[in-house]
Chains A and B, each alone.
Chain A
Amino acid sequence: DGGITQSPKYLFRKEGQNVTLSCEQNLNHDAMYWYRQDPGQGLRLIYYSQIVNDFQKGDIAEGYSVSREKKESFPLTVTSAQKNPTAFYLCATRDLAGGRYEQFFGPGTRLTVL
């Protein structure tokens, strides 16, 4: 079954704890993105990667970290330095070689900090 998977769907964390959100894709897409969505707001870019072992900061990277060791995987760590981490986190991919420009999204992870 092709697509983008994110796990877990819901995540609860205590203040002061780091947590890692998973994003896996089997679409063979080169680019992967992490966004954050808060109620009533648009998606905001956290980090993105266009190639293995390389990634760039987005508009709100502070308090987050990523890695891209494999083409299929782009995990996001929410660190204790992130001041307001409760949000809906969305992973997206894009096929850079296919001549198309749209992004495809995974089902998202809802993170709640208690």
Chain B
Amino acid sequence: RKEVEQDPGPFNVPEGATVAFNCTYSNSASQSFFWYRQDCRKEPKLLMSVYSSGNEDGRFTAQLNRASQYISLLIRDSKLSDSATYLCVVKDNFNKFYFGSGTKLNVKP
């Protein structure tokens, strides 16, 4: 079983739509959680950390459900520039990080 699992998509949505991604993780002792964005043939870049109480950054909202071991990312009012692959990342209680295979988002005009 993979440590972190994501729906690979692609999610094809029109501009202005709201889209949600989910991610599940297997290690209940995981400590820290993140969403990264990766553009085609580029390195991943941190989008946001995910806190237990949930957190929001502009159009982006992240939620963590420790009991069910899943993380979500909600993007409101999608822009063309949001088109990318979104990686769910989980850090264990040592210093290792586990990456999902990513969810591809295509925002269409």
Closest A residue to B6 by CB, please name it.
Answer: A42
* Interface assignment of A108: CB less than 8 Å from any CB of chain B: yes
Contact A42 B102 (CB under 8 A): yes
* Interface assignment of A34: CB less than 8 Å from any CB of chain B: no
Residues of A within 8 A of B (CB): 31, 33, 35, 40-45, 48, 50, 58, 88, 90, 94, 96, 101-108, 110
> With a CB–CB cut-off of 8 A, which chain B residues contact A90?
43-44
> With a CB–CB cut-off of 8 A, which chain B residues contact A50?
95
Q: List 26 A-B contacts (CB under 8 A).
A: A31-B95, A40-B8, A40-B101, A42-B87, A42-B99, A42-B100, A42-B101, A43-B44, A43-B87, A44-B99, A45-B96, A45-B97, A58-B96, A88-B41, A90-B43, A90-B44, A94-B95, A101-B91, A102-B32, A102-B49, A103-B89, A103-B97, A107-B42, A107-B43, A108-B42, A110-B41
Q: Beyond A35-B99, A94-B95: 19 further Cβ-contacts under 8 Å?
A: A31-B95, A33-B97, A41-B101, A42-B102, A43-B99, A44-B99, A45-B97, A90-B44, A96-B95, A101-B32, A101-B34, A101-B49, A101-B91, A102-B46, A102-B49, A103-B46, A103-B97, A105-B43, A107-B42
Tell me the residues in window 34-53 of chain B with beta carbons closer than 8 Å to chain A beta carbons: 34, 41-46, 49
> What number of residue pairs across chains A and B have CB atoms under 8 A from each other?
50
Interface centre among A43, A101, A105, A110 (most CB of B within 10 A): A43
> With a CB–CB cut-off of 8 A, which chain B residues contact A110?
41
Chain B, interface residues (CB within 8 Å), range: 20 to 34
Tell me the residues in window 72-109 of chain B with beta carbons closer than 8 Å to chain A beta carbons: 87, 89, 91, 95-102
B44 to chain A, nearest CB (A): 5
